[in-house]
Structure 1
Amino acid sequence: MGRGKLLYIITFYAVQLQTTQTSLQNTVQDCNQSSKNKMKDAELNEIDPEKQPVARETQTGNEKNGYAKVSIPGDMRVKLSGLTKDELMKIAGTVWWIRARWFLLVLFWLGWVGMLAGAVVIIVHAPRCKPIPEMNWWNEGPLYQISKVNEFSDNGLKGVEEKLDYLNHMKVKGLVLGPIHTVQADQLSTLDLTSIKPEVGTEKELESLLDQAHIKGIPIVLNLTPNYERNSAWFSNASSVAEKLREACKYWLNKGFDGIFLSGLSDIVNTSTWTSIQAIFNKTDATPIKALMGSVTGVSVDDVSRLLNSSGVDLFTTQLLDPIKAQEVQKLYNNHLQSSLAWSLSGQTLGTVASTRPAEPIRLCHILLFTLPGTPVVNAGDEVGLKAGEKLQTMWDLESPAETNATAKAVQEERIAVRDFFKTLSDLRGNERALLHGEFINLNNASSSLAFLRLWDQSERFLTAINWGNSPVTMTLSNSDLPAQAKVRISTDAANFAVDSMVSLEKFQLGPQQAVLLSYPYAG
């Protein structure tokens, strides 16, 4: 082999070796770079989802893009350091800082003393709140009379118990039950004031009714009018039953009744036994309050006033006269405690309101009854406007599915609306102090219209306006307390007096057989 050929072979293998070495280096670098990229991807995924690269769909598959890496040169954080102790002491000892401290201290105490003085001035000059008058449970809302238990419910006393939730829903504050004792009409020898008519229920059912009523917060008063089947409530001789009545009062109060109600009070008051009957109801701190209630019908305002003084009853119910005269209401209000007055438009012998006053819309009667000073007393059926001859069962039929007959459906809807109207008034009377125990001020009283104010201390004022005539009226309402406008709270004329609308009180106009209850705030 020649020298030239040997040199060629050595050169060839040297080039091949160098090429192989370069290839190996490139492969190693590619592997290292791939490993670094994978590590960066893992770090981005673990650190913060918001910093992850954006993924987008392509035709060739998933592709990652949007990598961004920002390098911040140096440390840009600002380091703060407070003053040293020596520096603070040096500044605190300067004259200007000492004066500033004294100025701020004096300013603080002057402000504190000023606020204290202001509070004292406000308290001293603020108007005193009028003390709330003594209230009993029979003054807090309407009393509901169930005179004929079997007509109210087919289940007698048990049925009354089943309707206690209904009475609570209507905001009734007391129930006047009965009479339920045994007697034959005008037959004094059959009178037994301590027994229960078998057709009404048993004594056990009565005890259950009393227990459940007290649990639900409804006091029950028993009507013990002896000869309740006839107009002559006392057999034309009250003295003959007075002693029986006294013993019966003790008996039923011990059974759990919260009071006794007597019709035709003027007859029994004049007997010699009346004082001992009154003594049963003397109130002591050791016993629950029991109420003695009575009523009269067809007597003058002066006679009512005399009976209130002589009878000493806790609550006296009188029939509203027709036409209603504000002067007479004002007279009773001025001469007697409002807590002892009660008003009624119906009753055991008279029937419902719609029966006694058929010419007047039932809503008008409800507004009048609930806004007069004193306790409203309603008869079962008044809340839906039942008329003479209609059964009380009609009230419970209102909860059944809507009538298909157009006329029957209209009657059903009207009665439900009347019941809602009644409940709204009952709510208002129980929640508003002016209606609960406010003053009565007559504003206008004509032959067929009436307007009066109810106001109490700094509470909201209420104005009742009623026109039971067949022609429109324009009322001139004059009182220094009246504003230019008032808000409608409830009315019988939704077209002209929509609830919550504002109406002018100057030359106030009211349509025929319409009533409205307005309110306005205390002005100071």
Structure 2
Amino acid sequence: MNKDTEIDMKEVELNELDPEKQPMTGDGQAAGGEKNGSVKLKVPEDEVTFTGLSKEELMKVAGTPGWVRTRWVLLVLFWLGWLGMLAGAIVIIVQAPRCKPIPEMNWWNEGPLYQISDLVAFANGMAGVEAKLDDMNQLKVKGLVLGPLHTVQADMQNTLDLQAIDPVQGNEKELITLLEKAHKKGISVVLDLTPNYLGGAAWFSTGDTGDVIEKVMAAAQHWLGLGVDGIKISDFTVASNSPEWSKLQAVVQGNRTEGTKKRALMGVVEEISPAEVSQLVNTSGVDLILSDLLSSKNGGVERIKAMDTLHSQQRSLGWGLGATKWDQLSNIAKTPSLIRLYQLLLFTMPGTPVFTYGDEIGLRAATGEKSPQMVWDIEKEPAEEEVVYLAAEAERKERVALRKWFKSLSDLRGKERSLLHGDYYPLYSSNSSLSFLRLWDQSERYITAVNWGGEPETLTLSLAPTEGVELPKTAKVKLSAGINSTADATVDSTVSLDKITLGPGQAILLQFPYTG
């Protein structure tokens, strides 16, 4: 048997073994003599495939007049489109309103300052203050003003030691630890070096001012060398008139170079006019002046005049209510609605708000008590089995609400340029109410309106003709506190600016957008 025959026989055997190759119906064949299940495909003998144009063919076509014209048209359209986009971008840039340059801001301008005159009453001493830094950081506090902490007996100059901390308040090692932790949280620390803080006159007697300033200078060098960010002194008028004042100024403000953190020289003045405060800012070189103008001037007209006089110097102004005497705000603002009102006023006025510890919860000293004990854990609700006194629980809830209000104001001021360093325009004032506008460039605008009187009052807002500044017809209520007026002013509602009626002790903050 030859080789071809063997191959044919193997194919027959495989076909018989593979069921898929067996006919699907009987033994018969399909029509046309083809086996059932088989498909015949006709493959064209001459298959044509497209291989594109050769280089010679492309060059021949590209040189024709039609393609030359098409290429030129496309090239011209490309460059015209590109030039059009460039011209459009230039027009947008030229016509866009210029951004107003941001003024120089120092750390004491960026948020509220928080005074702790008695560290023991606040948190059981220096170590306790360090433990409470997180609480103060939540309030967006930018600076702590501690003390006075030095040792001295009232009106006894020979016992003055400005470089020794009263051991009841803490010690130097604890202060250094406090400074390190505060700086990590972005909080600066100022020491109050008012010499005779326990006596009648801050500088003992007029004849001793020069000698006492020499001691303050030495103490300032010592504490600044340990990392303190500034010093504060009371009765600033007396100190700044001393021949030694320029030396103290050089100690605190000297060696200021670009990129280094500035150390603050802070002074406190009382019972002087807005014009005199302005003059001190211009002539003394002080970084921040805290005055009692807000507490000594009880009428809205007087307060507006003070702001009118001083607003251009706002980065050198500190505002407080009772803060010049280390007193709590609640000593003047006797009700929760008035506490909210003055918190709103301080956070929106042109300048740095200065608070005394406990102002955020309406803390008040008991009769005869100079330094009230700070209250902590106010958010801790009583347990179910615990006996609850209704008055105490109501007071706790009110403190929680006041702290929340304080935090919202502090947070808003830190975010909004109009409130942080914006321009100021008076809108209205009366014996018991006032209103003013704060704005900056293209940022949101804000209107403060407050009525600390005992009766409802209607405020008719009026803006003096000012280029580029005008009031809209309506504004949205951003914050509201106190007894609502007959014209309801709830948060997010829209009010007409023609007339705003405020209830007794009511304060509102209105917001409206910039329109170019």
What one-letter code is carried by the residue in structure 2 that aligns with 1:412?
Answer: R
Task: Give 1:364-375 correspondences, 5 Å limit.
Answer: 364-375=341-352
Match of residue 499 from structure 1 = 491
- Correspondent of 2:184 among 212, 215, 225: 215
Cα deviation, residue 493, structure 1: 4.6
- String of CA shifts for 1:483-517, please: whole Å, max 9, x gaps: 12212221105863332332221222222211111
Q: 1:373-388 counterparts in 2 under 5 A?
A: 373-388=350-365
* Percent pairwise identity: 51
Does residue 139 (structure 1) correspond to residue 109 (structure 2)? The answer is: yes
**Structure 2 residue aligned with 1:53:** none
Deviations 1:433-470 (A, max 9, x none): 11111111001111111110111111111111111112
- Contact 2:270-2:324 within 8 A present in 1 as well: no
- The amino acid across from 1:309 in the alignment is N
Q: Distance in 1 between matches of 2:66 and 2:51?
A: 21
User: 1-side partners of 2:232 and 2:23: how far apart?
Assistant: 101
Aligned with 1:210: secondary structure?
Answer: helix
Equivalent residue number for residue 323 of structure 2? 347
The equivalent of 2:441 in structure 1 is 457
The one of 250, 269, 282 aligned to 1:296: 269
Q: How far is 1:299 from its partner?
A: 2.1
Q: Which amino acid aligns with 1:279?
A: A
- Determine which structure has more spread, i.e. the larger CA radius of gyration: 1
Aligned length: 461
CA-CA distance at 1:240 after TM superposition: 4.3
In 2: Cα distance, 1:349 partner to 1:140 partner? 23
What amino acid maps onto 1:450 in structure 2? L
Mapping for residues 288-327 of structure 1, pairs under 5 Å:
288-319=261-292, 320=294, 321-324=297-300, 325-327=303-305
Q: Deviations over 1:319-372 (max 9, x none)?
A: 2122242122111124xx221111111226351111123266111001100000
Aligned residue identity for 1:492: A
- Is 1:380–1:392's contact at 8 Å kept on the other side of the alignment? no
Counterpart of 1:331? 309
Q: For residue 269 of structure 1, what is the amino acid of its counterpart?
A: S
CA contact (8 A) 2:432 2:453 kept: yes
RMSD after superposition = 3.0
For 2:508, the equivalent position in structure 1 comes to 516
For the 8 Å contact 1:157–1:205, the answer to whether it is kept is: yes
Q: What is the CA-CA distance between 1:383 and the residue it aligns to?
A: 0.6
Q: Alpha-carbon deviations, 1:404-442, whole Å to 9, x = none?
A: 333322211111111111111111111111111111100
Give the 3 Å change call, closer, same or farther, for CA 210–36 of structure 1 in structure 2. Answer: farther
Query: Residue 118 of structure 1 aligns with which residue?
Result: 88
Alignment match of 1:166 (pick from 129, 135, 152): 135
Shift of 1:91: 4.9
User: Which of these residues, 245, 261, 264, is aligned with residue 274 of structure 1?
Assistant: 245
Residue in 2 aligned with 1:243?
Answer: 214
In structure 2, C-alpha distance between the alignment counterparts of 1:82 and 1:262, rounded to whole Å? 93
**Contact 2:118 2:169 (8 Å CA) reproduced:** no
Task: Find out whether 1:413 has 2:413 as its counterpart.
Answer: no
Q: How does 1:66-145 map to 2 (within 5 A)?
A: 81=50, 83-85=52-54, 91-145=61-115
* Equivalent residue letter for 1:483: P
TM value normalised by structure 2: 0.82
Give the unaligned 5+ runs of structure 1: 1-28, 38-70
What letter corresponds to residue 494 of structure 2 in structure 1? M
User: 1:195 Cα shift?
Assistant: 0.3
Cα distance, 1:452–1:84 mapped onto 2, change above 3 Å: same
Paired residues of 1:146 and 1:178 also in contact (CA < 8 A): yes
**Is the partner of 2:266 in helix, strand or coil?**
strand
Q: Which among 380, 397, 412 is matched to residue 377 of structure 2?
A: 397
How far is 1:90 from its partner? 5.6
* Equivalent residue number for residue 48 of structure 1: none
* CA–CA separation in structure 2 for the residues paired with 1:72 and 1:115: 63
Hey, what's the Cα distance between the residues in 2 that align with 1:160 and 1:392?
15
Structure 1: which amino acid aligns with 2:316?
A: S
Q: 1: distance between equivalents of 2:152 and 2:404? A: 38
**1:484 is aligned with what amino acid?**
K
The letter of the residue matching 1:486 is A
What is the TM-score of this pair, normalised by structure 1? 0.81
What is the CA-CA distance between 1:97 and the residue it aligns to? 3.2
Shift of 1:292: 0.5
